[in-house]
């Protein structure tokens, strides 16, 4: 599936998650965040960068690992991405939807 | 009239047991709700209070007697050390899945916005004081108080 966002065409799956991280850019992130009613701050981008690195290193994401990362604690993670932090942040970071139950 | 599409808005989870499997089921459900952006509150009652008790929370066990899913004859399950062995094996598996221990799990739940309530009646029955329970405790409620908090469209209640 394809989607035009921030003047670019990106590949997404049926849930709107990007399927090619190399197409990601901060501008695209801003637009994806707007769809989730979030205005991205520099703090958001620090978290997105961490998530992308975890994905590149093939580390499965859990709330616990994000909380223990030293980048953001769990409370702030929820404050930054209120309606489901792990899924929402992954979507904006351009990485696949996490399959974790915790 | 507004249309309600059946969306879950809030989970009210009552934990009445302190076997390790029950406690983790309740914790994963409460945490999983928050991960979906769903509000979530927990009410610890009767033996469920042990999961909140500072001195007992890290020493919860799997039940080997009266638990047919253990596939173990009841007589065997009652032998000394069997429960500890089964618990040890289950904890090892949980470690592999990156599941936190009970204390850390309660910290995660609280940081995630899960409200943690203890049952007034059960507190009186076991002679527990607030100080005996995890610092993350949000308060001690009567069952009526808990029901009042469940108000609103899309609230679901679970008893474990």
Q: Pairing mode, if any, of strands B115-119 and B139-141?
A: parallel
**How confident is the model at residue B1, as a pLDDT?**
57
To probe the interface with A, which of B40, B111, B113, B115 has the most A CB atoms within 10 Å?
B111
pLDDT digits (tens, 9 = 90+) for B80-101: 787 888 888 888 888 888 789 9
Burial class from Cβ neighbours inside 10 Å (0-12, 13-18, 19+) for residue B159 reads exposed
Query: What are the structure tokens assigned to B134, written together?
Result: 């995890």
Burial class from Cβ neighbours inside 10 Å (0-12, 13-18, 19+) for residue A1 reads exposed
Distances (CA, A) of B26 to A42, A54, A63, A88, B81: 35, 28, 17, 24, 26
Domain assignment present for residue A98? The answer is no
Tell me which of A22, A57, A58, A101 is the catalytic residue: A101
Range of the domain at A78: 2-93
Contact A29, A94 (CB under 8 A): yes
Q: Do A102 and B34 touch (CB under 8 A)?
A: no
Task: Enumerate the residues of chain A whose CB falls inside 8 A of the CB of residue B113.
Answer: 78
pLDDT digits (tens, 9 = 90+) for B104-159: 999 999 999 999 999 999 999 999 999 999 999 999 999 999 999 999 999 999 99
Domain assignment present for residue A88? The answer is yes
Q: Do B32 and A83 touch (CB under 8 A)?
A: no
Task: Enumerate the residues of chain B whose CB falls inside 8 A of the CB of residue A85.
Answer: 35
Residues B10-159, CATH architecture: 3-Layer(aba) Sandwich (3.40)
pLDDT at B69 over 80: no
Domain assignment present for residue A71? The answer is yes
Domain assignment present for residue A47? The answer is yes
Residue with tokens 């970071």: A93
Q: Do B113 and A78 touch (CB under 8 A)?
A: yes
Task: Enumerate the residues of chain B whose CB falls inside 8 A of the CB of residue A78.
Answer: 34, 111-113
Look at chain A and report how many structural domains it folds into.
1
Q: Is A101 an active-site residue? A: yes
The count of residues in chain B is 160
pLDDT at B75 over 80: no
- Residue scoring higher pLDDT (A67 or B79): A67
**How confident is the model at residue B90, as a pLDDT?**
82
By C-alpha distance, the chain A residue nearest B114 is A75
**How confident is the model at residue B62, as a pLDDT?**
83
Mean pLDDT of A48-53: 96
């Amino acid at each position: 599936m394809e989607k035009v966002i921030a003047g670019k065409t990106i590949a997404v799956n049926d849930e709107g998650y990007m399927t090619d991280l190399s197409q990601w850019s901060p501008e695209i992130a801003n637009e994806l965040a707007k769809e989730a009613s979030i205005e991205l701050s520099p703090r958001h981008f620090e978290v997105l960068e961490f998530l992308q690195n975890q994905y590149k290193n093939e580390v499965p994401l859990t709330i616990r690992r994000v909380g223990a990362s030293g980048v953001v604690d769990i409370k702030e993670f929820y404050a930054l991405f209120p309606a489901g932090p792990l899924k929402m942040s992954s979507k904006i970071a351009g990485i696949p939807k996490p399959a974790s139950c915790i | 009239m507004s249309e309600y599409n059946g969306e879950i808005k809030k989970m009210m989870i009552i934990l009445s047991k302190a076997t390790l499997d029950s406690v983790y089921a309740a914790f994963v459900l409460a945490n999983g709700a928050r991960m979906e952006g769903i509000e979530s509150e927990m009410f610890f009652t009767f033996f469920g209070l042990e999961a909140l008790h500072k001195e007992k929370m890290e020493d919860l066990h799997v039940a080997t007697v009266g638990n047919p899913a253990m596939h173990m004859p009841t007589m065997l399950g009652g032998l000394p050390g069997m429960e500890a062995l089964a618990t040890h094996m289950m904890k090892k598996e949980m470690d592999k899945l990156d599941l936190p221990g009970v204390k850390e799990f309660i910290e995660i739940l609280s940081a995630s916005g899960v409200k943690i309530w203890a049952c007034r009646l059960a507190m009186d029955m076991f002679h527990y004081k607030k100080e005996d329970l995890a610092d993350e405790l949000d308060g001690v409620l009567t069952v009526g108080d808990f029901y009042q908090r469940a108000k609103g469209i899309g609230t679901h209640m679970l008893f474990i």
